[in-house]
Chain A
């Protein structure tokens, strides 16, 4: 199988380029893309990429595989290969540090902006803040986000305005705290989002839903934020 990898080392290269590698896949076994990268790294140690848990939990190895963002560790080669070729590029839209490693600074900045922690001005109870099973259920489909950035870097609105548009991942997290019955900063959170960029730059093209390796639905969460803003203002 032919594997084409985006290579760029700013200390040596003037411009990024694609490097081709030939690899023999073992018969009767569908490797994950990360396994392929590990095999290639044994041949050419200069290939750089992030990886950690190798089971889709840590979100380190987000990359663009034959045109679609995803986690290399849980994407089988059979799914990522196109016309007998596997093309690996860094997640689009963020600066490349080296090869498949990107600078996630802008992505984290947006995450920080939505204040991703519980805000509660009531005095803390002796043991814990209780939640009914129904209230807890509202967080399903939101808390599972692992911040791998596959969704935000698949979003054109985030590509054009990464400093102003929070992006699908950040907004999913924003709704996670808006929906939390224990959070008391709902109004402040909503006021922070009511400008033409933070939420409303989403045009609902659902690239985020298409690529999320955890099967989450940021577009739906963004719709819920809109509804909350609308209910508050009409």
Chain B
């Protein structure tokens, strides 16, 4: 058993599962958005903002936003542990990634929910 404390869920299995669950969420959202844009070629601002005002869309978008955070954290954490060998530099990189993700999530909630 390799001990570490900076990975997302501390368990390899949990990280692996979350990586897949978040990937599925991200793909569904991508397919949905592309499909929506293709089916509505004459999209107006009102229509677009009505879509994002619907509760289900807010739930879906928030799920996607959290999925981006989880997915990118697990991915970038893996990259950092593969390629950055110096502990200080690796921890710094991980901290910057963690901070960036937190900012994106808070900022994203503001944008999507129109707060």
Which residues of A come within 8 Å of B, CB atoms? Answer: 156-157, 160-161, 164, 191-201, 226, 229-230, 233
Contacts and interface: CB of A to CB of B under 8 A. Distances in A.
Interface of B: 1-4, 7, 10-13, 15-17, 78, 81-83
A156 B79 CA distance: 12
26 contacts: A160-B81, A160-B82, A160-B83, A161-B82, A164-B2, A193-B12, A194-B12, A195-B1, A195-B4, A195-B11, A195-B12, A196-B2, A196-B7, A197-B4, A197-B12, A197-B81, A198-B2, A198-B12, A199-B12, A200-B13, A200-B15, A200-B16, A226-B13, A229-B13, A230-B13, A233-B13
A232 to B, nearest CB: 9
B99 to A, nearest CB: 21
B1 A191 contact: yes
B1 A196 contact: no
Nearest to B82: A160
Q: Which one of B7, B10, B12, B81 has the greatest number of beta carbons of chain A within 10 Å?
A: B12
Given A164-B2, A191-B1, A196 B83 contact: no
Given A199-B12, A200-B12, A161 B81 contact: yes
A160 B82 CA distance: 5
